[in-house]
Amino acid sequence: MTTESDLAAQRRAAERAAARRLHPDVGGDADQYVAEMKRIAQQFGDSAGGEPVVTAEGFVRSRHVARIRRAARRTARGARAAVPSGWPGARKYGQL
C-alpha cells in the first residue's frame, strides 16, 4: 500500500517533470502545461489542485492552512513582545 508521503513525492515528481517539459518559461505551451497539471491533480485525487484533502483520520490538509498558521504565530509573537510586562500573555523575561 502506498503511503500519503509516497503519493506526495510521486505527485511532486510528476509536476516537476511536466514543468520541465511544458512550462512556458522553457519554451512550452501554456495551455498544454495547464492541461497536464490538471491531469496530474486528477490522477492523484485532487480535482482542483489547491483544494483541501480530507485524510482517513478526518483531518483537513492544505498548503494554505500551514501558511496561515505560520503567519498567525508570527503575529502573536510580535504582539506578545509589544504587550507591557504586567499584562496577561506578555513575555516576562525579567521574572525568569
Nearest to 19 by CA among 5, 4, 33: 33
Nearest to 64 by CA among 48, 76, 80: 48
C-alpha distances in angstroms, 47 versus 43, 79, 88? 8, 39, 45
pLDDT tens track for 3-29: 778 888 899 999 999 989 988 888 988
Grid coordinates 506526495 are at which residue? 8
Looking at residue 17, its pLDDT comes to 93
Q: Which residues of the chain are under the pLDDT cut of 50?
A: 47-49
Q: pTM for the complete prediction?
A: 0.47
